Amino acid sequence: MFKVAACQMSVNSDLESNLSRIESAIGRASAEGARLIALPECAVSGYPPLCCKSAREIDIARIAEINDCVRAIAAENGIWVVVGTIISGENGLLNSALVISSSGELMGRYDKMHLMPMDKKYFVPGNGARLFSMDGMPFGVLICYDVRFPEPYRYLRESGAKFIVTILNACGSDTWKLPVMEAAIRTRAAENSYFHIAANAAGPLQMAVSRVCDPLGLDLASAEVNREEMIFAEIDLSRTETGYYYDRRSDLYRVRAL
C-alpha cells in the first residue's frame, strides 16, 4: 500500500506563480507521506486556450527552465511527480505530462493524443500511450480529453498498468459536464479494475473535480468544486487482481497499438 496525492491548484499564465504553487504542493504532499503527486494539465505553463491568444505568447525557454526546477523540487522532497507542461517538439508544441522520479530523474513523458478543437490551435498531437514504472509498479498517464476515449485506458491496462494518472485543465465553461466527466473518470477505473488518480485545475467553472477512484469506480477521495485543494488516498494494488476487467471476453477482442 502507498499514499498518493492529487493537487487541485489554480493554473494561469504567470509562470512564477505556477512554480510557487507547484513547489508548495510537492512539499506538502511529501510531508503528508505521499509517494506520488499528480498536478494538473499545463500546471507549469498555463493552459494556452485559457491563458493566451496565440502560441507566440508562450515562453518556451522559461517553461523548460521551470521543468528542470520541478525535477529538483521532486528530488529535494523524495516524491514522484506527474506534472503538466508544454514541450517544444520537432513538429510543434506538445501538451505533455512529465513523469519525475523521487530522485528527480525524468522517467519520460506522455504527449496528449486527443486534442480538443481549441487545443489544435496551439499543439500537435502525441503518438501513443506508454507505460511507466514506479519502483516496479506499472502505471500510465493520460491528459484531459483522453478520458472521453476508453481505448488508451484499456490499452494501458492490457500492457500491465495497475493505476492511471489523468491530469486535466477542464475549466472555463460548460459546468453541465461535471456529472458526465465524473462518470467517465469512474468508469475508466471500474472497467479496467485499477486505481484512477485525476487532478484538475481549480477553476473557475470546473467541468470535473479532482478525485481518486478505486478499482470499483468508487471515490477514495474527491475535491470541492472551484477551490484549491489537495486530496490524498491510500492505494492497495492487491485490489487490482479482481474486478470487471477479468470478466471481459479477451478470447474475442482486445485493444492493441497499431
Q: What is the CATH number of the domain that holds 115?
A: 3.60.110.10
- Domain assignment present for residue 251? The answer is no
pLDDT at position 254 over 90: no
> Is 9 among the domain residues?
yes
Q: What is the structure's pLDDT at 96? A: 98
Q: What percent of the chain has pLDDT over 70?
A: 100
The yes-or-no verdict on residue 258 having pLDDT over 80 is: no
Contact 199/165 with Cβ under 8 angstroms? yes
Q: What is the mean pLDDT of the chain?
A: 96
Whether residue 170 lies inside any domain: the answer is yes
Q: What was the pLDDT predicted at 246?
A: 97
Domain coverage including residue 171: 2-235
Summarize the confidence of residues 198-213 as an average pLDDT: 96
Query: Other C-beta atoms within 10 Å of 153: how many?
Result: 26
Residue 226 lies in a domain: yes
- Please state whether the predicted TM-score (pTM) of the whole model is above 0.85: yes
| Amino acid at position 56, single letter | R
H or E element that contains 27: helix 15-31
Q: Is residue 254 part of a domain?
A: no
Q: Is residue 113 part of a domain?
A: yes
Instruction: Give the total number of structural domains in the chain.
Output: 1
DSSP state of 244: G
86 HSE (CA, 13 A, CB side): 24
| Residue in the structure block whose three cell numbers are 497499438 | 257
Residue with cell 494494488: 237
Mean pLDDT value across residues 67-91: 97
- Which residue in this structure is represented by grid cell 504532499? 29
Residue 139 in any domain: the answer is yes
Mean pLDDT, to the nearest integer, of 91-118? 97
Q: Please tell me the predicted confidence (pLDDT) of residue 231.
A: 98
**Residue 16 pLDDT more than 90?**
yes
Name the 3-class secondary structure at 78.
coil
In a domain, 66, yes or no: yes
Q: What is the pLDDT of residue 257?
A: 79
Could you read off the pLDDT of 152-182 as tens digits, one per residue? 999 999 999 999 999 999 999 999 999 999 9
Report the amino acid identity of residue 42.
C
